[in-house]
Amino acid sequence: MPPEIVFALLSMCFLGTSDFLYKWGQKWDLRGGPFMLVQNFAYMPTAFGLAFLRSELAWNPGLWFGLLNGVLAFTAFLFILLAMRRGEAVTLIPIVRLNFAVTALLTITLIGEEVTLLKGAALLLAGSAVLAGGSGIFSGRGDRRALALAVGAMVLFGFIGLFIKIGLGMGANPAAMTLAQSLGVFCMALPYAIRSGDPMPRRGGALWVPLVCGVLTSSSYVSLSVGFIYGDAVVIAPIAQLSFVLTGLLAVIFLGERLSPRKGLGVACAVLSILIFAAA
């Protein structure tokens, strides 16, 4: 299997598990300010450790895009956390993961990445998978505010994919990009947590869930960035964002969320899309 596909699948698994924990952790009434700050307490050292082990602790002007991504990522993950309070993961996460279409559109338009007929067919299947997964909200059976938050996260993540590709194209190292992103998140999370006035968690799920999410999210972005070195964002981003398949499966098994026939069709389209991207 090509290395870009391997790293895209790794990113997908890390991200899918993290998204599930965002929903599963709601039993502890997670608060946005403390959650985002504690998550970054794990995100930042994980990013630093990966950058150190890969010998990628080197400054490059492309890292400014990593810092910008930190601001966008903080907002996007906060949107997801708030959306998970009002809706089901099996419905909302597919909407968020449609962001690969935003990334693909931006990289094709601004960077000039090539789109072959095979890649176009796979993109269409991936989009169909996400739309099928989120059919409940689009048909008016879900919470409108949750939909708005999910769509907002989708757009923000789409731009993050573009800026990762641009930063790497300027010579920035993958793990260093993730470390720069963690610094950008911290610059947003600390004042937000202070302003919210919510107490910091000291034990239980309210503490370990954001810590685990921080490790998973950091690992996902490093995997995604390494994948971008080997292949085009138009191929890698859709595979990584199909993490909703894993999230939905975990939500059905552990949270009792319902998998309708339409959403099952979406999963089938997602798997087929991954196979086509691998062949492309």
Please count the other Cβ atoms lying within 10 Å of the Cβ belonging to residue 30. 25
With 90 as the cut, is the pLDDT of residue 75 above it? Answer: yes
pTM of full prediction above 0.75: yes
With 60 as the cut, is the pLDDT of residue 95 above it? Answer: yes
Dig out the tokens for 237 from the structure: 């981003």
- Least confident window among 26-30, 81-85, 186-190, 270-274: 270-274
DSSP 258-278: ---HHHHHHHHHHHHHHHHHH
The tens digit of pLDDT for each residue in 156-213 reads 999 998 998 899 899 999 889 989 999 999 999 999 999 988 888 888 888 999 999 9
With 80 as the cut, is the pLDDT of residue 277 above it? Answer: no
Mean pLDDT of 23-28: 87
| Polymer length in residues for the chain | 280
Which of 109-118, 168-177, 268-277 has the highest mean predicted lDDT (pLDDT)? Answer: 168-177
Q: Burial code of 5-14, b = ≥16 C-beta within 10 A, e = fewer?
A: bebbbbbbbb
Q: Yes or no: say if 203 and 27 are a contact pair by the CB < 8 Å rule.
A: no
Mean pLDDT of 108-123: 80
Q: Yes or no: say if 167 and 62 are a contact pair by the CB < 8 Å rule.
A: yes
Mean pLDDT of the chain: 85
30 band by pLDDT with thresholds 50, 70 and 90: confident
Please count the other Cβ atoms lying within 10 Å of the Cβ belonging to residue 268. 14
Closest CA to 199 of 29, 24, 2: 29
The phi, psi pair for 65, rounded to 5°, reads -70, -30
Please count the other Cβ atoms lying within 10 Å of the Cβ belonging to residue 170. 12
**Amino acid 2: pLDDT:** 86
More confident call, 140 vs 271: 271
More confident call, 165 vs 275: 165
More confident call, 71 vs 206: 71
Please count the other Cβ atoms lying within 10 Å of the Cβ belonging to residue 110. 11
Please count the other Cβ atoms lying within 10 Å of the Cβ belonging to residue 205. 17
Domain ranges within the chain, ordered by starting residue: 3-279
Residues ≥6 apart with Cβ < 8 Å to 159: 72, 102, 103, 106
The phi, psi pair for 244, rounded to 5°, reads -60, -25
Q: Yes or no: say if 241 and 9 are a contact pair by the CB < 8 Å rule.
A: no
**Amino acid 134: pLDDT:** 59
Dig out the tokens for 122 from the structure: 């796979």
